[in-house]
Copies of this chain bind each other. A is one copy, B any other.
Amino acid sequence: MGGCDEPYRTIVLMHAGKMATLIVQKYGGTSVGSTDRILRVAERVMQTYKEGHRLVVVVSAMGGETDRLVHLAHDLSKRPALREMDMLLSTGEQVTAALLAIALEARDIPVRSFTGQQAGILTDDTHTHARIQSIAVQQLQETLATGIIPIVAGFQGTDAQSNITTLGRGGSDLTAVAIASALHADYCDIYTDVDGVYTADPNIVPAARKIIKISYEAMLEMASLGAKVLQSRSVEFAMKHRVPVRVRSSFHDEEGTWVTTEEPHMEREMVSAITSDKNQAKVTLIGVPDRHGIAARIFNAIAEEHLLVDMIIQNVGQGGLTDLSFTVSKTDALQAKEILMRFSQEMGIHHIEVTPDIAKVSIVGVGMRSHTGVAAKMFECLAGEGINIMMIATSEIKISCVIDAKYTELAVRVLHAGFGLSAEAETVSPQQAV
């Protein structure tokens, strides 16, 4: 494999300068879901520490804790104040950070827990969906310098007025990646309940294999296409700041998947993975007058209610009328229909139809950029099984097709085989991957 010598040389130089590797480890909710599991995480942190690495640990709330708190809030208000939700939910991660610190101190490992604020994480003031603006790393750096492991409560920060904020879904991943970037860590390990990113969901495709290394771009597409391993925002952040990220299981020692910059040898694979997403519904407007500005009006009305539209297709019009279809998340479909019903008569739309039983099946791969005929091959695979394609969307590195939901698993399997993804995996050592 090309370029292997380069990373090894770096490692040797680092040892010569007595600079231990700095790793950020992030443990998700299922990994810290009980005190037994927290003890297992403590063992893993201990092991990394005893191997001579410097590390920062970022934790999520214990599995179920955030839901418990949300329920309490909803007992009191249908629309809880967002600032107060942040005050409430941030306690979940704080509890885990304290508990993990307690477990490690009891094992004579020098640790100190940090709230988001104590870790210097400054965000904007968009409560429940705050964006990290900067990290004042002095506290963390001083702690590391004295040989102490900081255990940071993920998912949270404070705004300029010291109000507690939270970062939204998957926020702890973002905390970990942002800290890794701010501290110039060597890499960031995201520990979760799966052992890496797969070429397809192993529950659907038994022959699916773990991807050893994937580019930020492909991972980003996968995250937005329904692969739930990493949240889009943290991948985006890692990509922007070039933080090597590894996704691995907290339950065993397998290598996991490296998410990192695209390298020459990665281009060999035209398609990296197949994803599927059954969480969408199709809304079709039949007999829409083929007039300038109609589509804009429709999608403005939808956007005003904060519904997220994914794919859109418009048929070629006949006799001044056309059909328009779009997809939204299943939970939003009826609301979208209601919004459109309000002015369907005025606009002369004949009929609005909601199709909930659809699935989006996608192929993702940075290799597509330099290959032609990828789309044709995808359609061919699906057609070969008699699967009708309702909608198509493409980007530089992905192609998505909306199909009847009942064909989801069949489609994923046929594409997985068709693009040759069931072949043997290569193995890459962590040093090579970084």
From known contacts A72-B35, A84-B113, A118-B162, infer whether A77 and B95 are also in contact, taking CB-CB under 8 Å: no
Give chain B residues whose Cβ lies under 8 Å from the Cβ of A103: 76-77
Q: Evaluate contact between B69 and A84: CB separation under 8 angstroms.
A: no
A102 interfacial contact with B, CB 8 Å = yes
A106 interfacial contact with B, CB 8 Å = yes
Q: Evaluate contact between B83 and A112: CB separation under 8 angstroms.
A: yes
Give chain B residues whose Cβ lies under 8 Å from the Cβ of A35: 72, 75-76
From known contacts A105-B77, A106-B77, infer whether A72 and B99 are also in contact, taking CB-CB under 8 Å: yes
Interface flags for A94-119 (1: CB within 8 Å of B; 0: not) read 11011101110110000011010110
Q: CA of A38 to CA of B76 in the docked complex: distance in angstroms? A: 8
Interface residues of A in 333-358 (CB under 8 A from B): none
Give chain B residues whose Cβ lies under 8 Å from the Cβ of A291: none
How many whole Å from A246's CB to the nearest CB in chain B?
A: 27
Kindly report how many copies of this chain are found in the complex they form together. 2
A78 interfacial contact with B, CB 8 Å = yes
Interface flags for A410-425 (1: CB within 8 Å of B; 0: not) read 0000000000000000
Q: Evaluate contact between A101 and B81: CB separation under 8 angstroms.
A: yes
Q: Could you say which of B42, B94, B163 contacts A91, with CB atoms under 8 Å apart?
A: B94
From known contacts A35-B72, A76-B35, A83-B112, infer whether A98 and B88 are also in contact, taking CB-CB under 8 Å: yes
Q: CA of A162 to CA of B113 in the docked complex: distance in angstroms? A: 12
A286 interfacial contact with B, CB 8 Å = no
Q: CA of A164 to CA of B87 in the docked complex: distance in angstroms? A: 15
Count residues of chain A with CB under 8 A from any CB of chain B.
39
Q: Evaluate contact between A76 and B39: CB separation under 8 angstroms.
A: yes
Q: Evaluate contact between B72 and A84: CB separation under 8 angstroms.
A: no
Interface flags for A1-45 (1: CB within 8 Å of B; 0: not) read 000000000000000000000000000000000010011001000
How many whole Å from A81's CB to the nearest CB in chain B?
A: 4
Q: CA of A106 to CA of B82 in the docked complex: distance in angstroms? A: 11
Q: Evaluate contact between A87 and B101: CB separation under 8 angstroms.
A: yes
A52 interfacial contact with B, CB 8 Å = no
Q: Evaluate contact between A95 and B69: CB separation under 8 angstroms.
A: yes
Interface residues of A in 50-80 (CB under 8 A from B): 69, 72-73, 75-80
Q: Evaluate contact between B77 and A102: CB separation under 8 angstroms.
A: yes
Q: Could you say which of B38, B42, B84, B113 contacts A102, with CB atoms under 8 Å apart?
A: B84
For this complex, 16 residue pairs linking A to B, each with C-beta atoms less than 8 Å apart, are: A35-B72, A38-B76, A42-B76, A72-B99, A73-B102, A76-B99, A76-B102, A77-B103, A77-B105, A83-B113, A85-B98, A85-B102, A87-B97, A87-B98, A88-B98, A91-B98
Per CB-CB distance, the 5 closest pairs between chain A and chain B, nearest first, are A77-B106, A88-B98, A35-B75, A91-B91, A87-B98
Known: A76-B106, A81-B106, A87-B98. 7 other contacts (CB 8 A): A77-B105, A84-B105, A85-B102, A87-B94, A87-B97, A87-B113, A88-B98
